[in-house]
Structure 1
Amino acid sequence: MNKLPLLLIALASATTACAQQNTTAMKYAGLITAEDAKKHLSILASDAFEGRETGKPGAEKAANYIAGEFKKLGLQAPVNGSYFFNVPLTENALKVTAFTVNGKSFEYGTDFYLGGSFPDKSTSVTDIVFVGYGTDAEIGNTDLAGKVVLWINEDKPEAGATPNTSYRMSNARIKVVKNLQSKNPAIILAANPGIAAALARFGKSVASPKLTIKDEAAKPANTNAPVFNITATLADELVKSTGKTYADLKSASATAVAPAADIKNNVVINYATTRKDVKAVDVLGYMPGTDLKDEVLIFSAHYDHIGLNPDEKAKDKVNNGADDDGSGTTGILEIARAFSKAKKDGHGPRRSILFLGNVGEEKGLLGSEYYSDHPVFPLANTITDLNIDMIGRVGEEYIGKPDSANYVYPIGSAMLSKELHEIGENANNTYTKLKLDYKYDDPNDPNKFYYRSDHYNFAKHGVPIIFYFNGVHADYHQPGDEVSKINFPLLAKRAQLVFYTGWELANRDKRPVVDAVAGEGK
């Protein structure tokens, strides 16, 4: 093949890319710096903010800091003259007063955990029903009403496919759970070998009180059977009377259709919940646009984290959350600074921009859920949410790789709008030239990252989104997630990519076309 024409094409492409650069956008992107980012993050992720747990003084300090910065930048306070958008929350303290199997006690946060809020219940049975992987063939005509059900919380193996065995439920398993709940069991015990490691790392926090959005009107109590996530060790105790281990039964279920079977046990499970109201706020800073001001672009990041370390013996008491998500919050402040300076210089955006600091993300995406259900600006007029959650570190999969300081994981950009995906790609190709790694850009990804940050509450309402993420690392949700480990030049470059993408979205003639159904993906 003749190399000369290829070289000429390459040179022409490079010239075109350079010609497409917007020098005005580049000027203000240059205001997003590692030095300025470090100033913000050193405050937000300091010990004084006590890990910014929702409903605690540290989160309130962070909210006040962000609001103060929005005011300095000249952003409008869009909530009846306030930067604070109240998110009514309730703290639900679940107390499992008994979980015994044949007289042997098991501990919440060590052997099992329960997510959600349920009516108080006392359950005592003399047998349980093992349903294998919970397929229709395994359940058959078995009556599950009022029973305690033991279920393998893994995808059932299929020939030619690698099953998802993570304790985080796949979409297929969510359907299995709904089917099981439709049969009105008393309790579902979901066994997975990964639960032990998860509880060893996060057990103290999963056993802590849970926050939920406060009911605005009386709602029917959740009558679905609660799903207890249990360790394989607890599952072994539950199947002990069969003379087999849980692993034996799982292996048999994986290779054949074993009908549901009763297993003799004396199981007692009692739990109750106490509730109290909690103060929490999203922080909103608003910049009105010009000729397209009725349309709104959102930049979002959650400012909350998981608070103080509950381990009394720990030397480091504060989960600082420098990367998660102090880095994203810092990115939002830097992007706001760039747009504010542009506006002061006469280069304000055509569309309006909302800078949204979400609370309660770590508690279940609560702040973004409440905002998206009660938007200050109509979601029909919201063109895109650019969400930043962890952009300050090198994720575990990039450590030691050539691109370790020049990549980001964009997630969800084409889930609802192929045009939005192209806009994000073009912004990167024209300016930042990061490696865009789409490994996790899949609603069926076992890690379920698409569903695990605030963008999802906009996506489920049909608002196109891009979620920017650096991947997890050894300090994820640990006290070691500190400012000293942040790569500030990389944080700034990733924030610049978000800025450039937002600049195009805020100023182009038409909003991105939505050409997919929310939740369906690409």
Structure 2
Amino acid sequence: MTKKILLFITVAALSACSVLNKSSQSEAPNIYSFSDNITEEGLYNDLAVLAHDSLQGRETGTIGEEKAARYLSKRYREMGLQAVGDDESYFQHYELVQPAMEEISYRLMSTENDSILDESTHNSDQGSNFVTLFGGSDPLSGSVVFAGTGMMNAEEGIDHFPEETEGKWLFILYDEEHTNMQHLQMALSQGGALGTILVIGTDVEEYQQEVEERSGYFGVGGGMSLKYLQEDSGTSPAFNRVNPELAAHMLGLEDVNRLSEVQESILENPGAFESRELPLALDHVPTVNENTIVTKNVVAFLEGSDPELKNEVVVLSSHYDHVGVGRPDSTGDNIYNGADDDGSGTVATLQTAQAMMDAKKAGAGPKRSVLFLNVSGEEKGLLGSRYYSDHPIFSIENTVANINIDMIGRVDEQNEADSNYVYIIGGEIISSGLDSLTQVANTMGPNLTLSKRYNDLNDPNQFYRRSDHWNFGRLGVPFVFFFTGVHADYHRPSDHIDKITFGPLTKRTKLVYNLTALLANSPERPEVDNQEFIEKTQVQPR
């Protein structure tokens, strides 16, 4: 970090302390003093609306999410923030695709005499001799290769996979202990294999039970994806399971019992097995209805006061969607209110916006501009933030940093004895400058314990990739993510407002405010300068 930024940080901290210790009547307005406008009452009042049962858990694409978006836009309009969305609104609309599989037809043919060996269709009313476990949303047709038990161990000279997998079905006698699923995934994702035909045991009755269970999935909307990315998504390989009786016939065996004997023989001497093409071809033809869902990010803008710096933007983000209505808990409650996830981050964004707008009206507004961004689709795969980062209202090049807030209203098991904490993810593992500003923001009032428990690129939880900040980080924008950990009510109907700890939530929101103000007023923008982050994520330094 340069001496210029260090000097700024020192002056900012001293200035903030001075304002806090003197009467506001004897001092000119100072942006940092307006963090006192953030109160428990204000946070509670906003959260009482967003986490209310009437919003039905705010699932993306539902009327409950629409109500939440309207409330957020109403609040921003009351504050006087600029509407920078579509048609001068507070909304950035985008389209999602949600496929609903109606049925899948399978046809197994002999390539020796061009005859049909089996033809069946699986839907909500009838079963089939094949069942798709996942994937397979595209028509697929190709030859069948017997890949033994799917073993792969180069050191021991074991390889059951063919050299060429593109355009082929891999027929595998699946064994939980020995089948190399990682290599199988590579054959599908990189080798161009159409999919699998898995033989999972020889119990025909158990196979039929799975067919029946999977029948309930037809006609039901599946995962959502961004419509504009669909053209480049490629085909979806299919993990198909086959009826053991048909599997035996495919290998020319008398009955299903012989399947177990073949599998055991291969496992006894796996290095001797070599893959071979079977005189078979499989057509896999799904019927899919794609529903288009229109949803929106909520965007509100506070223009900076500096003639030059106002062209640069600090983005403060949180997601306002949750998971909607689902399986009831033991009390019969089936509304997943999401008071903490991410009602807490959303109301923190609102209260920060209110306090910063108060500062601007008093003549102490930020030098850089600030975009308050409440995204949808986070629970569906960070979709709203991905859309914004690919269609930014203000260019990524002029985006100074992203502060993201997700679940800051509770206390996790590790901190039950002392709630005066927040987890910091990002910061120093990306940008030393951003980390320094975060530390100073904390000394200006909240004085929280800034825990680095999860701030590790090798942490198995991978939190640095798991919320909306990642869609900025992947493009080289420095970020810091505030988070207080997962708790027993995560993604459950019991994530209620009465479990929010508003005292700690208020402190954490003030920290967010302070950091936003520091970033907006710093003479220089923080840089991505951690070489490990750059190499691990293939992000270019800025």
- TM-score by length of structure 2 reads 0.72
TM-superposed deviation, 1:183: 1.7
Q: Which amino acid aligns with 1:38?
A: Y
- Asked if the contact 1:148–1:188 (Cα under 8 Å) also holds between the matched residues in 2, the reply is yes
Which has the higher mean CA deviation after the structures are superposed, 492-501 or 285-294?
492-501
Q: Which amino acid aligns with 2:439?
A: E
- Asked if the contact 2:93–2:295 (Cα under 8 Å) also holds between the matched residues in 1, the reply is yes
For the residue of structure 2 that corresponds to 1:87, the secondary structure is strand
The match for 1:198 is none
Q: Which amino acid aligns with 2:324?
A: G
Identity of paired residues, percent?
Answer: 36
Question: In the alignment, is residue 222 of structure 1 matched against residue 239 of structure 2?
Answer: no
Instruction: Give the one of 396, 399, 402 matched to 1:385.
Output: 402
Q: Pairwise CA RMSD of aligned residues?
A: 4.9
TM-superposed deviation, 1:208: 4.6
TM-superposed deviation, 1:37: 0.7
1:368-401 Cα shifts (integer Å, max 9, x gaps) = 1111111111110000010111111122x4253x
- Asked if the contact 2:188–2:194 (Cα under 8 Å) also holds between the matched residues in 1, the reply is no
For the residue of structure 1 that corresponds to 2:464, the secondary structure is helix
Instruction: Give the one of 108, 119, 126 matched to 2:138.
Output: 119
Cα distance between partner residues in 2 of 1:241 and 1:486: 60
The match for 2:318 is 301
For the residue of structure 2 that corresponds to 1:398, the secondary structure is helix
The match for 1:160 is none
The match for 1:162 is none
1:222-266 Cα shifts (integer Å, max 9, x gaps) = 13535689xxxxxxxxx997759x9x99x999xx999887899x9
- Asked if the contact 1:128–1:147 (Cα under 8 Å) also holds between the matched residues in 2, the reply is no
For the residue of structure 1 that corresponds to 2:92, the secondary structure is strand
- Asked if the contact 2:132–2:239 (Cα under 8 Å) also holds between the matched residues in 1, the reply is no
The match for 2:195 is 187
TM-superposed deviation, 1:304: 0.6
- Asked if the contact 2:169–2:197 (Cα under 8 Å) also holds between the matched residues in 1, the reply is no
- Change in 2 beyond 3 A, CA 1:177/1:72: same
Q: How does 1:278-293 map onto structure 2 within 5 Å?
A: 278-291=293-306, 292-293=309-310
Number of matched pairs: 468
Question: In the alignment, is residue 210 of structure 1 matched against residue 223 of structure 2?
Answer: yes
Instruction: Give the one of 170, 174, 187 matched to 1:148.
Output: 170
The match for 2:73 is 67
- Change in 2 beyond 3 A, CA 1:150/1:43: farther
Question: In the alignment, is residue 131 of structure 1 matched against residue 131 of structure 2?
Answer: no
Cα distance between partner residues in 2 of 1:151 and 1:331: 53
For the residue of structure 1 that corresponds to 2:310, the secondary structure is strand
- Change in 2 beyond 3 A, CA 1:491/1:151: farther
Question: In the alignment, is residue 82 of structure 1 matched against residue 99 of structure 2?
Answer: no
For the residue of structure 2 that corresponds to 1:442, the secondary structure is coil
Question: In the alignment, is residue 475 of structure 1 matched against residue 475 of structure 2?
Answer: no
TM-superposed deviation, 1:308: 1.0
TM-superposed deviation, 1:153: 13
Instruction: Give the one of 30, 36, 61 matched to 1:30.
Output: 36
> Larger Cα Rg: Structure 1 or Structure 2?
2
- Change in 2 beyond 3 A, CA 1:508/1:276: same
Please list every run of 5 or more consecutive structure 1 residues that lacks an aligned counterpart in the other structure. 1-14, 157-166, 168-172, 192-202, 230-238
- Asked if the contact 1:349–1:503 (Cα under 8 Å) also holds between the matched residues in 2, the reply is yes
Cα distance between partner residues in 2 of 1:439 and 1:151: 43
Cα distance between partner residues in 2 of 1:122 and 1:311: 42
Question: In the alignment, is residue 398 of structure 1 matched against residue 414 of structure 2?
Answer: yes
The match for 1:333 is 350
The match for 1:273 is 288
Instruction: Give the one of 87, 92, 100 matched to 1:93.
Output: 100
Cα distance between partner residues in 1 of 2:405 and 2:343: 10
TM-superposed deviation, 1:322: 0.8
Q: Which amino acid aligns with 1:68?
A: K
The match for 2:468 is 454
Cα distance between partner residues in 2 of 1:418 and 1:82: 36
- Change in 2 beyond 3 A, CA 1:127/1:368: same
- Asked if the contact 2:145–2:275 (Cα under 8 Å) also holds between the matched residues in 1, the reply is no
- Asked if the contact 2:99–2:222 (Cα under 8 Å) also holds between the matched residues in 1, the reply is yes
Cα distance between partner residues in 1 of 2:238 and 2:65: 30
The match for 1:373 is 390
Q: Which amino acid aligns with 1:283?
A: V
- Change in 2 beyond 3 A, CA 1:241/1:384: farther
Please list every run of 5 or more consecutive structure 2 residues that lacks an aligned counterpart in the other structure. 1-9, 20-29, 107-117, 200-215, 242-255
- Asked if the contact 1:297–1:384 (Cα under 8 Å) also holds between the matched residues in 2, the reply is yes
Cα distance between partner residues in 2 of 1:227 and 1:337: 51
TM-superposed deviation, 1:93: 1.9
TM-superposed deviation, 1:131: 3.4
Cα distance between partner residues in 2 of 1:243 and 1:153: 11
- Change in 2 beyond 3 A, CA 1:130/1:420: farther
- Asked if the contact 2:145–2:170 (Cα under 8 Å) also holds between the matched residues in 1, the reply is no
Cα distance between partner residues in 1 of 2:271 and 2:452: 37
1:287-344 Cα shifts (integer Å, max 9, x gaps) = 0001110000000001011111156998212111111111110110011111011111
Cα distance between partner residues in 2 of 1:495 and 1:258: 64
1:27-56 Cα shifts (integer Å, max 9, x gaps) = 311122222111111110111001111111
Question: In the alignment, is residue 350 of structure 1 matched against residue 339 of structure 2?
Answer: no
